[in-house]
């Protein structure tokens, strides 16, 4: 199933210099979010993020080089090293200090799992003194919780699997995560209970290092066209991703 976008934003040499300075598009790929990126049986990357990067590389007229990371925090931290040109990351205010984001392309709810015997029954009860919440360090929702929680404490984990392990060992009171991943993981959390609602809506967009003005403008127009043409929605449908919603213009 081929996915295409009907129109194209204008392209000039400044855009190519900023988005593909080496003559190829080095795309920072995050394996930590399987709603965007997965590996097929051959070990090759596929998913919504791959479709988006392939489309961008085609528009720029350059080859695509996938630079792979295990976790989103690793992608964000590597931005200062000049090893990738464009990435897809959760739009978040801490990251925005060093990265420029395109308009949002998608939205995902962030949710909580508590223990079956927990007295916590609502999202608004979680931010309380003494409550420990497991969340992967530097994930978009962990950064959000760090900036917004006033009373509860965050136990920062290596990854989502590590968060589940800590929850199952009763080392934390709450497991935070992308709601689709929490739903898919409930069979691994026998003593867990998913709370109704969400604590945030996570938006993802293209990210580039700050200061690339021509690249920022190009990506802004590019995403507007992707959203208007339902490119992202068709990619989500193609890969049968549940819980990831495309932004509609």
Q: Where in the chain is the domain with CATH 3.40.190.10?
A: 13-106+203-246, 108-200
- pTM (two decimals): 0.85
Q: Over the stretch 215-227, which tens digit does the pLDDT of each residue have?
A: 999 999 999 999 9
Per-residue pLDDT tens over the stretch 56-98: 999 999 999 999 999 888 999 999 899 999 999 999 999 999 9
Distance, in Å, from the CA atom of 19 to the CA atom of 90, rounded to the nearest integer, reads: 19
Strand partners, 153: 132
Which residues is 107 bridged to in the sheet? 203, 245
Considering the domain 13-106+203-246 in this protein, what is its CATH number?
A: 3.40.190.10
C-alpha dist (Å) from residue 213 to 13, 52, 244: 13, 21, 29
- Give per-residue pLDDT as tens, 48-67: 999 999 999 999 999 999 99
- Write the class of the CATH domain 108-200: alpha beta
On average, the pLDDT of the chain sits at 94
Contacts of 41 (CB under 8 A, 6+ apart): none
Number of residues that this document lists for the chain: 249
Residue 3 has pLDDT above 70, yes or no: no
> Which residues have CB under 8 Å from 35's CB, separation 6+?
47, 48, 108, 178, 180, 181, 241, 243, 244
- Summarize pLDDT for 155-190 with one digit per residue, the tens: 999 999 999 999 999 999 999 999 999 999 999 999
Max CA-CA distance within the chain?
60
């Amino acid at each position: 199933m081929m996915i295409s976008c009907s129109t194209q934003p204008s392209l000039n040499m400044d855009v190519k210099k900023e988005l593909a300075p080496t003559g190829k598009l080095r795309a920072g790929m995050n394996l930590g979010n399987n709603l965007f990126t997965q590996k097929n049986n051959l070990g090759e990357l596929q998913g919504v993020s791959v479709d988006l990067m392939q489309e961008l590389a085609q528009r720029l007229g350059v080859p695509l080089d996938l630079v792979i990371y295990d976790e989103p925090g690793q992608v964000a931290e590597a931005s200062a090293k000049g090893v990738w040109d464009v990435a897809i990351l959760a739009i978040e205010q801490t990251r925005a200090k060093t990265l420029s984001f395109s308009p949002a392309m998608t939205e995902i709810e962030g949710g909580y799992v508590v223990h079956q015997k927990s007295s916590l029954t609502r999202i608004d009860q979680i931010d309380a003194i003494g409550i420990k919440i497991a969340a992967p360090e530097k994930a978009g929702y962990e950064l959000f919780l760090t900036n917004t929680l006033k009373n509860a404490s965050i136990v920062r984990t290596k990854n989502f699997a590590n968060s589940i392990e800590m929850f199952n060992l009763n080392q934390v009171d709450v497991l935070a995560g992308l709601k689709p991943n929490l739903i898919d993981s409930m069979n691994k959390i026998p003593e867990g209970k998913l709370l109704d609602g969400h604590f945030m809506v996570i938006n993802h967009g293209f990210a580039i290092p700050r200061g690339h003005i021509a690249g920022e403008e190009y990506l802004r127009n590019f995403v507007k066209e992707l959203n208007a043409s339902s490119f992202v929605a068709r990619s989500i449908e193609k890969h049968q991703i549940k819980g990831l919603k495309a932004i509609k213009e």
